[in-house]
Amino acid sequence: MKSEKLLIVFVKNILLGKVKTRLAKSIGDFGAFEVYKELVAITEAETDRIKDVDVHIYFSDQVIESKWPDKPKFVQEGADLGERMKNAFQNGFNMGYKRVIGVGSDLPDLSADIMNEGLETLVDADTVFGPSEDGGYYLVGMNRMIDCIFDNKEWSTEGLLAATQEDLTANSYSFKLLSELNDIDNIEDLKASSVSNKFKQYYELS
């Protein structure tokens, strides 16, 4: 039976030289490739733990059938990150879902508990965000389509979440924040992460 809750996972296709390019400058393309594979595996395992929630996977370039078997898969559509996320959320609401959250696939500490908390927060709040240390967010959710979250934003900037909150407040939408997490974009992030020990062979830990 279809759930009223939807989790959207945004995944970059796992291709050598195409993922974690900032991290690759420090540990090479293969090292960055191995790190991203591990992060996607963590994300898949945690999303599989979620019960009574439908899960849709949106790949950046092409569907990979071996990942998230038996889950509906799509290719992201849009000119930039905002448009791609907006289209995925709109598809979810068009399908009749009442609470929708979206997450990325590069967070070593993203858990099923956090994602469930995000969905439950939407019972009382219009929107929910999981803030990241860089001023953006790793999770976004809403209980109806709210275009201003995605429109006219400077993506991958330290002021993204603050600007989004300002727009929501100006349009009388409520929001709540979850625990802050950090993704892995560079060598410092990797060294500070919970998966650092798995990748010691690619760098010297200070």
Task: List per-residue pLDDT tens for the chain, 206 residues long.
Answer: 689 999 999 998 878 777 888 888 888 888 888 999 999 999 999 999 999 999 999 999 999 999 999 999 999 999 999 999 999 999 999 999 999 999 999 899 999 999 999 999 999 999 999 999 889 999 999 999 999 999 989 887 889 999 999 999 999 999 999 999 988 888 888 888 998 888 887 766 44
pLDDT reported for residue 202 = 72
Paired tokens of 181: 């997490």
Task: Reply yes or no on domain 5-199 having CATH 3.90.550.10.
Answer: yes
| Rg of the chain in Å (alpha carbons) | 17
Q: What angle do CA 72, 112, 10 make, to 5 degrees?
A: 40
pLDDT reported for residue 165 = 97
pLDDT reported for residue 201 = 78
Bridge partners (DSSP) listed for residue 9: 57, 103
pLDDT reported for residue 206 = 40
Structure-token match 């006219």, residue found: 152
Distance CA 127, CA 36 (A): 28
pTM across the whole model: 0.93
Distance CA 196, CA 155 (A): 27
